[in-house]
């Protein structure tokens, strides 16, 4: 990327002093080989054994929506197009599904977004702090367990994060060049971010906080108005599609559900679960760099910190927490960590012993990368377990159970599961209608996407539900409903017709098969 052209002199003078671009390196011969290695490592971690375990519940829902958009004759009746979130990613996925519905193919699209984010982070780090920082930041993100795990799944957060990084890049170019076209570009890409996942609205707030706190650049009202019009023009596609389809109530019902649903994790969830996946070294480097270079802070640090802190505070305080929700802030954390390595860790050697500085810097980068790559490799090769954290991977044996259902149960069969997660897998892989016992009949206490079983006793007694599916993952999270489902199995003469097992390591290190999914046929 070359040094940008100088904007209109008068406009530049009115806006304030121009940004000093990072000095060009004398040699760029190593950039391409370095990026090839970085992309190779990141790509390997994202595609290794990608289809070994089937979907989890969210993956099944998003893939089911994409299949419905593609007109798949079977899944269209099982997955409504309009559910909780906008449809940009699902629409992109539907293009491939119009040829072939594949869980591995769907994950490849998500992995592609993940690798594209690595490139975007390189460009962002290079723009703000120079080529070396960009390369280090790209390397950290490429092998970071948190980003690797999430972008191996058919989730909205990976594509959302890619668009979010592009928004930060465009905003930085706007501040650097003082030309409104980059503000307009940031608004357009922010619209795409919101069309990917509506929770990206918190990122709009992060930008507003940045503009308010750091007023070095005064944005002309006309430019701000044009940017807001562009943002609205992009985002309006989703509510317009809801209105034209007569599904406006879907978005309203989901908003009510999100506002009143009970907390699913404690306030320490992200610190205990996500921080180790992001990498303690990355967090320490980013925080340490901000402190040690605090006297050199400019709008660059203000932009990155606002982008990181506002969502972090919001999702910590928000009762509902998801493993993947903080993914959009991780790229800027990688940039700040890389900045610390390049500008704090070894700068005192640069003037006296340049060769030693290069080796010291490379050693620190490789050490941090190794601290990320090893747990990332372990994360993509997890030990079998009967517990499951939403957003952290697929559900073992879920695909196999679903395919058995498709091959062996009569067409038109209706099944009852413990929770909606297994019901979604039965629908996607088994191509049968399934309902979850744990879904509340109270509209204020359930996800509006799910249909409750108003009277399980009556439906089982009348033969409207012919099969019951118990799974260890749902029974562990909701033992009350797991026990209740088994009481129905015993009451209605349930007979186990199929069992899926996984090998689980015991305390002595030996592995034994544990049943994780059991399908019962029940008789009135």
Q: Return all residues near 476 (Cβ < 8 A) that are at least 6 apart.
A: 386, 387, 388, 482
Tens of pLDDT along 256-297?
666 666 676 778 888 889 999 999 999 999 999 999 988 888
Asked whether residue 369 falls in the same domain as residue 419, the answer is: no
Asked whether residue 465 falls in the same domain as residue 349, the answer is: no
Q: Is the pLDDT of residue 43 over 50?
A: yes
Tens of pLDDT along 297-330?
899 999 999 999 999 999 998 888 888 999 999 9
Characterise 307 by phi-psi region: left (phi > 0), alpha (psi -120 to 50), beta (else).
alpha
Asked whether residue 191 falls in the same domain as residue 338, the answer is: yes
Q: Which pLDDT band holds residue 246 (cuts at 50, 70, 90)?
A: low
Q: Is the pLDDT of residue 425 over 50?
A: yes
Asked whether residue 324 falls in the same domain as residue 408, the answer is: no
Average pLDDT over residues 452-474: 93
pTM (two decimals): 0.89
The answer as to whether 388 is a domain residue is no
The answer as to whether 23 is a domain residue is no
Q: Is the pLDDT of residue 406 over 50?
A: yes
Predicted local distance difference test score (pLDDT) of residue 243? 67
How far apart are the C-alpha atoms of 240 and 85, rounded to whole Å? 14
Q: Is the pLDDT of residue 10 over 50?
A: no
Asked whether residue 157 falls in the same domain as residue 210, the answer is: yes
Cα torsion 36, 42, 48, 52 to 10°: value is -150
Characterise 503 by phi-psi region: left (phi > 0), alpha (psi -120 to 50), beta (else).
beta
Tens of pLDDT along 177-188?
989 999 999 999
The answer as to whether 13 is a domain residue is no
The answer as to whether 154 is a domain residue is yes
Q: Pick from 301, 368, 311, 314: which is nearest to 341 by CA?
A: 368
Predicted local distance difference test score (pLDDT) of residue 2? 40
Say how many C-beta atoms besides its own lie within 10 A of residue 93's C-beta: 25
Asked whether residue 358 falls in the same domain as residue 426, the answer is: no
Average pLDDT over residues 26-54: 88
Q: Is the pLDDT of residue 35 over 50?
A: yes
Task: Report the percent of the chain where pLDDT is more than 90.
Answer: 62
Beta bridge partners of 521: 467, 495
Q: Return all residues near 434 (Cβ < 8 A) that are at least 6 apart.
A: 414, 415, 416, 417, 422, 423, 424, 426, 427, 469
How does DSSP assign 375-410, residue by residue?
Answer: HHHHHTSPPP-S---TTSS--TTHHHHHHHHHHHSP
How far apart are the C-alpha atoms of 62 and 193, rounded to whole Å? 16
The answer as to whether 387 is a domain residue is no
Asked whether residue 250 falls in the same domain as residue 162, the answer is: yes
Number of compact structural domains in the chain? 2
CATH at residue 414 = 3.40.50
Reported residue count of the chain is 524
Tens of pLDDT along 482-505?
999 999 999 999 999 999 998 877
How far apart are the C-alpha atoms of 52 and 127, rounded to whole Å? 39
The answer as to whether 446 is a domain residue is yes
Q: Which pLDDT band holds residue 205 (cuts at 50, 70, 90)?
A: very high
**Positive or negative, the Cα torsion across 346, 352, 357, 359?**
negative
Sheet holding 495-505, edge to edge: 433-436, 414-417, 467-471, 511-521, 495-505
Asked whether residue 337 falls in the same domain as residue 472, the answer is: no
Average pLDDT over residues 170-183: 93
The answer as to whether 158 is a domain residue is yes
Asked whether residue 358 falls in the same domain as residue 423, the answer is: no
The whole-angstrom distance between residue 493's C-alpha and the CA centroid of its chain comes to 42
Predicted local distance difference test score (pLDDT) of residue 362? 85
Predicted local distance difference test score (pLDDT) of residue 354? 63
Segments forming the whole domain that contains residue 483: 398-521
Most confident of 317-331, 376-390, 399-413: 399-413
Say how many C-beta atoms besides its own lie within 10 A of residue 10's C-beta: 8
Q: What does the buried/exposed string (b/e) look like for 399-414 if buried means 16 or more CB atoms within 10 Å of the residue's CB?
A: bbbbebbeeebeeebe
Average pLDDT over residues 5-23: 43
The answer as to whether 5 is a domain residue is no
Radius of gyration of the chain (CA): 25
Mean pLDDT of the chain: 86
Q: Is the pLDDT of residue 466 over 60?
A: yes
Predicted local distance difference test score (pLDDT) of residue 381? 84
Residues 499, 515 contacting (CB under 8 angstroms): yes
Tens of pLDDT along 435-446?
999 988 876 666
Asked whether residue 50 falls in the same domain as residue 120, the answer is: yes
Write down which residue in 316, 351, 379 finishes a domain: 379
Q: Is the pLDDT of residue 507 over 70?
A: no
Residues 507, 500 contacting (CB under 8 angstroms): no
Asked whether residue 363 falls in the same domain as residue 411, the answer is: no
Most confident of 4-18, 382-396, 432-446: 432-446
How far apart are the C-alpha atoms of 442 and 512, rounded to whole Å? 41
Q: Return all residues near 193 (Cβ < 8 A) that are at least 6 apart.
A: 160, 163, 164, 167, 200, 203
Q: Which pLDDT band holds residue 9 (cuts at 50, 70, 90)?
A: very low
How far apart are the C-alpha atoms of 422 and 428, rounded to whole Å? 10
Q: Is the pLDDT of residue 199 over 60?
A: yes
Work out the angle at residue 484's Cα, subtended by the Cα atoms of residues 481 and 488, and round it to the nearest 5 degrees: 135
Average pLDDT over residues 122-137: 95
Q: Is the pLDDT of residue 7 over 90?
A: no
Predicted local distance difference test score (pLDDT) of residue 335? 97
Predicted local distance difference test score (pLDDT) of residue 294? 87
Asked whether residue 160 falls in the same domain as residue 298, the answer is: yes
How far apart are the C-alpha atoms of 262 and 251, rounded to whole Å? 19
């Amino acid at each position: 990327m070359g040094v940008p052209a100088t904007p209109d002199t008068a406009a530049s003078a009115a806006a304030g002093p121009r940004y000093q671009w990072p000095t060009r390196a004398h040699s760029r011969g190593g950039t391409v080989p370095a990026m090839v290695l970085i992309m190779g490592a990141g790509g390997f971690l994202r595609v290794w054994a990608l289809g070994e375990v089937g979907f989890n519940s969210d993956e099944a829902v998003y893939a089911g929506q994409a299949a419905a958009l593609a007109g798949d004759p079977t899944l269209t009746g099982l997955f409504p197009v309009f559910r909780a979130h906008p449809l940009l990613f699902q629409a992109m996925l539907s293009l491939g599904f119009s040829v072939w519905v594949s869980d591995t193919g769907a994950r490849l699209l998500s992995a592609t977004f993940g690798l594209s984010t690595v490139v975007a982070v390189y460009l962002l780090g290079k723009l703000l702090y120079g080529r070396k920082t960009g390369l280090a930041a790209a390397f950290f993100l490429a092998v970071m367990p948190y980003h690797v795990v999430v972008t191996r799944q058919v989730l909205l957060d990976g594509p959302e994060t890619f668009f979010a990084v592009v928004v930060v890049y465009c905003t930085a170019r706007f501040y650097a060049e003082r030309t409104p076209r980059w503000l307009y570009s940031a608004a357009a890409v922010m619209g795409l971010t919101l069309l990917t996942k509506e929770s990206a609205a918190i990122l709009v707030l992060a930008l507003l906080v940045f503009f308010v706190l750091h007023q070095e650049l005064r944005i002309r009202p006309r430019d701000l108005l044009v940017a807001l019009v562009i943002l609205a023009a992009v985002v309006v596609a989703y509510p317009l599609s809801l209105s034209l389809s007569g599904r406006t109530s879907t978005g309203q019902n989901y908003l009510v559900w999100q506002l009143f649903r009970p907390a699913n994790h404690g306030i320490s969830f992200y610190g205990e679960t996500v921080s180790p996946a992001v990498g303690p070294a990355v967090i320490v480097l980013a925080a340490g760099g901000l402190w040690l270079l605090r006297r050199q802070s400019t709008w660059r640090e203000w932009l990155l910190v606002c982008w990181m802190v506002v969502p972090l505070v919001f999702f910590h305080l928000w009762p509902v927490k998801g493993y993947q929700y903080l993914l959009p802030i991780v790229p800027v954390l990688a940039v700040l960590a890389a900045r610390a390595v390049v500008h704090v860790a070894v700068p005192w050697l640069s003037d006296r012993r340049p060769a030693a500085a290069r080796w010291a810097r490379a050693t620190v980068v490789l050490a941090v990368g190794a601290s990320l790559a090893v747990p990332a490799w372990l994360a993509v090769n997890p030990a079998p377990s009967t517990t499951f954290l939403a957003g952290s991977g697929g559900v073992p044996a879920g695909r196999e159970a679903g395919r058995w259902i498709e091959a062996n149960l009569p067409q038109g069969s209706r099944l009852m599961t413990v929770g909606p997660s297994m019901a979604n897998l039965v629908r996607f892989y088994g191509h049968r209608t399934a309902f979850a016992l744990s879904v509340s009949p109270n509209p204020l206490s359930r996800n509006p996407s799910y249909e409750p079983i108003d009277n399980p006793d009556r439906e089982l007694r009348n033969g409207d539900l012919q099969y019951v599916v118990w799974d260890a993952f749902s029974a562990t999270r909701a033992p009350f409903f797991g026990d209740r489902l088994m009481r129905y199995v015993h009451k209605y003469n349930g007979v186990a017709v199929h069992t899926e097992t996984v090998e689980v390591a015991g305390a002595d290190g030996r592995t034994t098969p544990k049943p994780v999914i059991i399908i019962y046929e029940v008789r009135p």
